[in-house]
Amino acid sequence: MGSLIDILIFVAILAVAVTLGFGLWSMYRGGEQAASRSNKLMRLRVALQAVAIVLLCVGMWWKSTHAG
C-alpha cells in the first residue's frame, strides 16, 4: 500500500505541474479564448493540488501508523 500511495502522489504532483505549464502557455498566447482556457486550467490546477495534498496527508498518516 505504501508504494501505491507514493506512485499516486508522484502522479498527482506531475499532473499539477503539467496543468500549470499548459495554463501558463495559454496565458502567454493571449486572446479572449486563451484567457478562458487558461482560467479553466488554473481552476483544474487548484483541484489537482487539493488532491495532491490529501494524498500527501494520507501517505504521511499511513507511514506513521504502519512503520516497521
pLDDT in tens, 25-51: 888 887 788 888 888 888 999 999 999
User: For residue 46, what is its C-alpha cell?
Assistant: 487548484
pLDDT of residue 30: 78
Mean pLDDT throughout 7-11?
A: 94
pLDDT of residue 16: 95
User: For residue 3, what is its C-alpha cell?
Assistant: 508504494
The contacts found for 17-24 with CB under 8 angstroms, 24 or more apart, are: 19/44, 19/45, 19/48, 20/45
pLDDT of residue 1: 67
User: For residue 9, what is its C-alpha cell?
Assistant: 502522489
How is the chain split into domains, by residue range? 2-61
User: The pTM is what?
Assistant: 0.83
Q: Confidence class of residue 21 from pLDDT cuts 50, 70 and 90?
A: very high
- CA atoms of 8 and 51, how far apart (whole Å): 10
